[in-house]
Structure 1
Amino acid sequence: MSINATLFVQAIVFLILVLFTMKFVWPPIVKALDERAQKIADGLAAADRAKSELSAANQRVEKELSQTRNETAARLADADRRAQAIVEEAKARASEEAQKIITAAQAEAKQQVVQAREALREQVAVLAVKGAEQILRKEVNAGVHADLLNRLKTEL
């Protein structure tokens, strides 16, 4: 065989191989590459969506944290106000109670002073009667001289 015929046969075989490859081998490879490219594109799109969703979720979390902090601060302020009000109310009640106790103690002290004066008057009257008895050397009748003794008590 000549070199031209060999070259020609090799060209035909190469052409048949190219046609066979283009007809049967190349489409599955292209299809696999297209599918792979589509998967990669879908993955990148999903990553972008996830990234935007993550950003939105972070914003929602920050917003809720901010609201929670504000609510907590408001509740703490309210609790402080309530505590101050309770303390002030307790102080007012304690002051009123102390005033009542002081008033009661003063009234009791006045009553005891009056009782002590009465008892002292009684004792002075008895001593005056005994002194007058000894001066007069006779017994003074308390029933008869009750008016005199009452005047003496009031003068003392």
Structure 2
Amino acid sequence: MNLNATLFAQAIVFAILVWFTMKFVWPPIAKALDERAQKISEGLAAAEKAKVELAVANKRVEEELSKSRNESAARLADAERRAQQIIEDAKARANEEAAKIIAAAKADAEQQMFQAREALREQVANLAVKGAEQILQREVNAGVHAELLSRLKTEL
């Protein structure tokens, strides 16, 4: 066999194989590769979109958490202020009640002291009259000497 004819035949067979491959085999492979590339690009776009949405959601969550923290801090401060106000009101009422009780006790003590002085003056006056009776050896009439006894009470 001739080398040129074999080489020529192999070139024709190779050309037919290239034509057959380009016509029937290559288009489905290229189509499959294009579809795969499109799916990959769609997946990457979806991943990027999900990443952006996640960042937005995280930002929104952080804002809500910050708002919740501020709100809870404000409520806590409000509660503390209210508690202080209640405590101050209770202290003021307690001080007023204590002042009333002290004033009533002082008034009662003064009244009792006044009554005790009056009783003591009465007793001293009686003792003075009895002492005068003893000294004079006769009875002193309290009705007659009322002015003298009242002057004696005021001096005591």
TM range (shorter): 0.7 to 0.9
8 Å Cα contact 2:125/2:152 also seen in 1: no
RMSD: 2.4
Quote the residue 2:93 is aligned against.
93
Normalising by structure 2, what TM-score? 0.80
Q: How many residues align?
A: 152
Where do 4+ consecutive residues of structure 1 move more than 3 Å?
145-151
Give distance in 2, aligned partners of 1:105 and 1:73.
47
Q: What is the CA deviation profile of residues 57-114 of structure 1, one whole-angstrom value per residue up to 9, with x for unaligned ones?
A: 1221222123123213322332232133223212321221121022112111111111
Rate the CA distance shift 1:149–1:64 in 2: closer, same or farther, 3 A.
Answer: farther
CA distance in 1, matches of 2:14, 2:143: 163
**Partners of 1:15 and 1:150 in 2: CA distance:** 163
TM value normalised by structure 1 = 0.80
Any conservation in 1 of the 2:133–2:139 contact (CA below 8 Å)?
yes
- The SS at the match of 2:143 is helix
In structure 2, relative to structure 1, the CA distance for the partners of 1:25 and 1:36 (3 Å cut) is: same
Percent identity of paired positions between Structure 1 and Structure 2: 72
Q: Would the aligned equivalents of 1:133 and 1:139 in 2 still touch at CA under 8 Å?
A: yes
Q: Secondary structure at the match of 1:45?
A: helix
Query: Alpha carbons of 1:45 and 1:148: their partners in 2 closer, same or farther (altered >3 Å)?
Result: farther
Letter in 2 for 1:66: S
Deviation, 1:131, is 0.9
